[in-house]
């Protein structure tokens, strides 16, 4: 899974950071996580193809996370995108999109499905398993735990050759089927293949203050994407607006033993103070990055 950050600011765009938008590039598809105003414009500076986007996952309905969505969906149609697309969002998502398209006279040339999720819902999309959890914000906000598919084990060629099996198409059968037949005898394939490798886990949180649900999403994740709207000395502002600080993000990463932390949704008040902001994050959790627009990060192979 490769992540590309299209917008890493909070509230409103700045010259340095657009509002929330994140692309998740999978082997056979691309997802968007949130689609704030200007997200499709940011995509013009990347290799992301709108027609390849199969799903949009919306963390919550605040404007800086969704105002770019109708435009993106319309542009995808104008670019001759014909494959179906699913938008996952909280209650109100469907009504808002239908009303926007109706009032603006917009028509899509592909099948659009809108699924409104609830806390604890799970989904299978493009071979990945997604769990949704409700977070704590001034407005209903959610996070996603994305489990990638497990990687098949490799063929234990030495054991296969002990049976006298020559290399050929049967090797593929052994790797992909539960049982295989050789010279009239059946064998269990698992005895001749190494254990599968668990899929990578990415946790992506919407706007939130620290909460138990965030821990459920982040526990043991290979990558945690967490908002850090404010630095630690402005925790009172974080509470006022329902956000987290740098140290609250790093504390969660440490408590949940995540492999990598990327903080995003950063207030424009820190323009010109980027080094100070980054130092506070990395000093508390060295395996951290402060997201910038167009940052790319790959999880796994």
CATH number where 281 lies: 3.60.15.10
What is the model's pTM?
0.90
Residues 127 and 147 in one domain: yes
Residues 118 and 135 in one domain: yes
CA distances from 125 to 27, 30, 50, 129, 148 (A): 12, 11, 17, 7, 10
Catalytic residue among 34, 64, 207, 293: 64
Residues 127 and 224 in one domain: yes
Among the three residues 192, 207, 241, which one is the final residue of a domain in this structure?
Answer: 192
Residues 141 and 261 in one domain: yes
Residues 126 and 247 in one domain: yes
Residues 118 and 82 in one domain: yes
Residues 259 and 177 in one domain: no
Mapped onto helix, strand or coil, the DSSP state of residue 191 is helix
Q: Cα-flanking dihedrals φ and ψ of residue 288, to 5°?
A: -130, 155
Q: Domain range spanning residue 123?
A: 2-151+197-298
Among the three residues 171, 192, 213, which one is the final residue of a domain in this structure?
Answer: 192
Answer yes or no: 34 catalytic.
no
Q: What is the pLDDT along the chain (301 residues), one digit of tens a residue?
A: 999 999 999 999 999 999 999 999 999 999 999 999 999 999 999 999 999 999 999 999 999 999 999 999 999 999 988 999 999 999 999 999 999 999 999 999 999 999 999 999 999 999 999 999 999 999 999 999 999 998 888 999 999 999 999 889 999 999 889 999 999 999 999 999 998 889 999 999 999 999 999 999 999 999 999 999 999 999 999 999 999 999 999 999 999 999 999 999 999 999 999 999 999 999 999 999 999 999 999 998 7
Residues 175 and 210 in one domain: no
Residues 187 and 215 in one domain: no
pLDDT of the residue at 299: 95
Residues 115 and 258 in one domain: yes
Residues 101 and 165 in one domain: no
pLDDT of the residue at 250: 98
Residues 92 and 73 in one domain: yes
Among the three residues 141, 165, 192, which one is the final residue of a domain in this structure?
Answer: 192
C-alpha closest to that of 93 among 138, 130, 142:
142
| Separation CA 36–CA 27 (nearest Å) | 25
C-alpha closest to that of 134 among 144, 125, 147:
144
Number of domains within the chain: 2
| Separation CA 55–CA 124 (nearest Å) | 11
């Amino acid at each position: 899974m490769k992540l590309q950050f299209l917008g890493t600011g909070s509230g409103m765009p700045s010259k340095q950071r657009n509002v929330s938008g994140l692309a998740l590039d999978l082997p056979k598809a691309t997802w968007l996580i949130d689609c704030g105003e200007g997200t499709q414009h940011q995509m013009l500076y990347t290799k992301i193809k709108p027609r390849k986007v199969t799903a949009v996952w919306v963390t919550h309905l605040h404007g800086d996370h969704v105002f770019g969505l109708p435009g993106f969906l319309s542009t995808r149609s104008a670019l001759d995108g014909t494959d179906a697309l699913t938008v996952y969002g909280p209650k109100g998502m469907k009504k808002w999109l239908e009303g926007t398209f109706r009032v603006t006279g917009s028509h899509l040339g592909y099948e659009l499905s809108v699924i409104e999720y609830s806390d604890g819902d799970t989904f299978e999309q493009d071979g990945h398993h997604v769990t949704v959890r409700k977070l704590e914000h001034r407005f209903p906000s959610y996070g996603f735990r994305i489990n990638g598919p497990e990687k098949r084990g490799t063929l234990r060629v030495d054991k296969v050759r002990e049976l006298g099996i020559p290399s050929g198409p049967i090797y593929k059968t052994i790797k992909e089927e539960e049982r295989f037949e050789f010279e009239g005898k059946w064998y269990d394939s698992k005895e001749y293949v190494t254990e599968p490798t668990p899929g990578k886990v990415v946790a992506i949180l919407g706007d939130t203050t620290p909460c138990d649900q965030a821990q459920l999403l982040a526990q043991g994740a290979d990558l945690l994407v967490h908002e850090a709207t404010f630095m630690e000395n402005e925790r009172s502002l974080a509470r006022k607006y329902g956000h987290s600080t740098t140290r609250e993000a790093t504390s969660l990463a440490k408590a949940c033993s995540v492999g990598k932390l990327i903080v995003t949704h950063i207030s424009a008040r820190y323009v010109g103070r980027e080094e100070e902001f980054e130092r506070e994050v990395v000093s508390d959790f060295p395996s951290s990055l402060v997201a910038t627009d167009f940052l790319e990060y790959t999880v796994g192979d």
